[in-house]
Amino acid sequence: MIEAGHFAAFLALAFCGFQAGFGLAGDRARSGLFASLGFAAMGFAFLTLIVAFARSDFSVQLVAANSHTLKPFVYKIAGTWGNHEGSMALWCLVGLGFGAAADWLLKSDRRAFEARAIGVQGLLSLGALAYLLFASSPFTRLDPAPLQGQGLNPLLQDPALAIHPPMLYLGYVGYSFVFALAAAGLIEGRIDRQWARMARGWALAAFVPLTLGIALGSYWAYYELGWGGWWFWDPVENASLMPWLIGAALMHSLIVTEKRGSFSAWTALLAVLAFCFSMLGAFLVRSGVLTSVHSFAVDPLRGSFLLFGLLAFGGFALVLFALRAPKLSGGPAWLAASREGALMGNNLVLTVATATVMLGTLFPLIAEAAGQTISVGEPYFNLTFTPIMALALIALPVVQAWAWGKADLSSLWKWAAGFAGLVAVFWLAGIGPMDIPLLAGVGLAIGVWLLFGAGQEAWRRAKTMERLPKLPLRVWGMTLAHAGLGIFIIGAVLQTSGRTQTTLALQEGETQSIAGWQVRLDDVSSVEGPNWYAERATLTAERGGSETLLQPQKRYYPAARMPTTETAIHKTGMGDLYVALGDGRRNRAGETRWTFEVFFNPLIDFIYLGVTLIAIGAGLSMFGKRTKAGPES
């Protein structure tokens, strides 16, 4: 069966070639047909890989290197994409899927434009499939076949990590089709309001899963790695953050192009940059140039192929923009003090923020190439990224009420006084009962400010309670996304500034305290799972008369010869009591004392609630239609 899948992948490669050729020639019917055929062929090829993993077919090298007969079935399936070759096969499948979806969903009077967009997507899929089949084939056989596999990386044997890669790839590859639309528009010299209406849905279709994929990766790192945090500015985390930031800028720029016909060149550039940063993310994760728990370290030769692909496709995208952008219509004139000006400012801030993240991520690599070792960590991003974004977030509730063309600035002083008063309230509370730093007070004020701004904007548009439920989905989407951003800020600030952390060293029966909790070690026992064994501690945590049981583990996977940390988390509604088991040491008296890293993370669920609301809001906006109610719509 695996040979049939290999053959189907080559068929998909051929179909991509026809898709690209007919599409760039403007033949809509044939380009769409070959896009659907290519997706079907690659779908069958990927299915054969899933079946090989499900059957533990160790004659397939990919299965032997990433599976094991004792592994739970769901992780056998997830092992299909939990490695370099399989993840690239999934990348190709998603890319071909977007081409087929375009064939089914693009229904406009611009048939040549649609054909060229599908053709460009075919060209991108052709490059990805060529890399897969000739440099990273997942269909390689082993003869003789081993009796047992090496097992999937234990860190990836997790529900969140089973869903995380497909979600990220829907985002990354989704931006490749947004670029395909931009390329087709640039070839025609026509990035206009109709183009923006078509591109908006595809941009949101990439943004939503990318948002959820980043959140899943963050939550996995929180409960699986045992360090108690949710974001570490890890280079691979940054690799997904950069296209997300540019994607957010693209969504806002599309609003202006669709509503006013302005920003056409800027919107096209953002579509190109979103694609380029997605390609950069793929290179950073899979080239082996980064050391990260998230990355797939591969050999330098395949890394050089990825670098060539990044330069070739990224260079093609930027050259096409440089050649065609001067011919695009500029749209009507606009003032800085207008909604257009505010959205342009938003785009510039997000672009500069992306540049700071890129510099912090790539500078250590550049320094290493020059023979120096430089580490760029959280202090750099706190000094650069955080102030840039803070200023933009403070301005958001103010400028979202501005009118198109020219804004009324007479009430600007009221907004300034309102935010200053909110900051003063949190500073006074910080000095008093809340006991928070001054900068944390500013951060909390920004979060509440965003919540107020989201509610105020919905009310401004509805004007009455009766009209509030009748607001368009796009308005509700914007309201939920901005409110989610505020909730996220509140959770991030409180978790970062208010987290309590300590290391406990306990004997059985001993009790120590943290953040008002009394933590007692009851016992430590050995347990065994389907493909692992572990030391499991049982602790009782008590506060205010209520008790909860916590059972953190240190697991060892014999097949992979790798230990993992399985944390225990108790959610209180106001935060998480979080425990990670360390090592046990026997003293001279023969008593064993176990170490535990214990955290209390206040309101950390606000982080994930906020991100979820951002994704839901973007999803609602994807299905909502723009109203024709006038200039305020």
Given a contact cutoff of 8 angstroms between Cβ atoms, the answer to whether 539 and 522 are in contact is yes
List of residues 6+ apart from 322 with CB closer than 8 A: none
Helices (H) and strands (E) in the chain, counts: 17, 10
**Domain 501-603 is in which class?**
mainly beta
Q: Where are the domains of the chain?
A: 1-157, 198-316+336-403, 501-603
**Domain 1-157 is in which class?**
mainly alpha
- Percent pLDDT > 90 in the chain is 69
Q: What is the DSSP string of 174-202?
A: HHHHHHHHHHHHHHHT---HHHHHHHHHH
pLDDT band for position 633 (cuts 50, 70, 90) = very low
Given a contact cutoff of 8 angstroms between Cβ atoms, the answer to whether 215 and 611 are in contact is yes
Our CA dihedral for 273, 276, 282, 283, rounded to 10 degrees, sits at -130
The pLDDT of residue 292 is above 70? no
- Cα 201 to Cα 179: distance, rounded to the nearest angstrom: 13
Lowest mean pLDDT: which of 1-15, 297-311, 314-328?
297-311
Q: What is the DSSP string of 298-355?
A: --HHHHHHHHHHHHHHHHHHHHHHHHHGGGS---S---SSSHHHHHHHHHHHHHHHHH
Given a contact cutoff of 8 angstroms between Cβ atoms, the answer to whether 444 and 494 are in contact is yes
- Cα 520 to Cα 523: distance, rounded to the nearest angstrom: 9
Segment 334-359 shows an average pLDDT of 94
The pLDDT of residue 294 is above 60? no
The pLDDT of residue 308 is above 90? no
Say which amino acid occupies 117.
A
The pLDDT of residue 251 is above 90? yes
Instruction: Count how many residues are written for the chain.
Output: 633
- Cα 204 to Cα 43: distance, rounded to the nearest angstrom: 24
The pLDDT of residue 159 is above 90? no
Q: What is the mean pLDDT of the chain?
A: 90
CA Rg, the chain, in Å? 26
pLDDT value of residue 449: 97
Segment 283-305 shows an average pLDDT of 64
| Residue of 54, 203, 19 lying closest to 126 (CA atoms) | 19
- Domains 1-157 and 501-603 belong to one CATH topology: no
Q: Mapped to the 3 state alphabet, what secondary structure does 65-102 carry? A: HHCCCCCCHHHHHHCCCCCHHHHHHHHHHHHHHHHHHH
- Cα 321 to Cα 549: distance, rounded to the nearest angstrom: 59
- Cα 394 to Cα 390: distance, rounded to the nearest angstrom: 6
For residue 579, what is the enclosing H or E element?
strand 575-586
Phi/psi for 244 (5° steps) reads -65, -45
pLDDT band for position 334 (cuts 50, 70, 90) = confident
pLDDT band for position 627 (cuts 50, 70, 90) = very low
pLDDT value of residue 298: 54
pLDDT value of residue 81: 92
Given a contact cutoff of 8 angstroms between Cβ atoms, the answer to whether 581 and 554 are in contact is yes
Segment 423-437 shows an average pLDDT of 80
- Percent pLDDT > 70 in the chain is 96
Given a contact cutoff of 8 angstroms between Cβ atoms, the answer to whether 53 and 65 are in contact is no
- Cα 174 to Cα 409: distance, rounded to the nearest angstrom: 39
Lowest mean pLDDT: which of 146-150, 369-373, 563-567?
369-373
Q: What is the DSSP string of 544-573?
A: TTEEEEE--EEEEETTTTEEEEE-EEEE-S
pLDDT value of residue 299: 61
Going by their DSSP bridges, the two strands 553-557 and 533-543 should be labelled as antiparallel
Peptide bond into 558 cis (omega under 30): no
Q: Which two tokens stand for residue 155?
A: 């860190």
| Residue of 282, 253, 290, 276 lying closest to 132 (CA atoms) | 282
pLDDT value of residue 630: 38
Given a contact cutoff of 8 angstroms between Cβ atoms, the answer to whether 2 and 48 are in contact is yes
3-class DSSP state for residue 511? strand
pLDDT band for position 111 (cuts 50, 70, 90) = very high
Lowest mean pLDDT: which of 95-104, 467-476, 548-557?
467-476
Terminal alpha carbon distance of the chain: 55
| Residue of 142, 169, 117, 131 lying closest to 9 (CA atoms) | 131
Q: Which two tokens stand for residue 521?
A: 């070690």
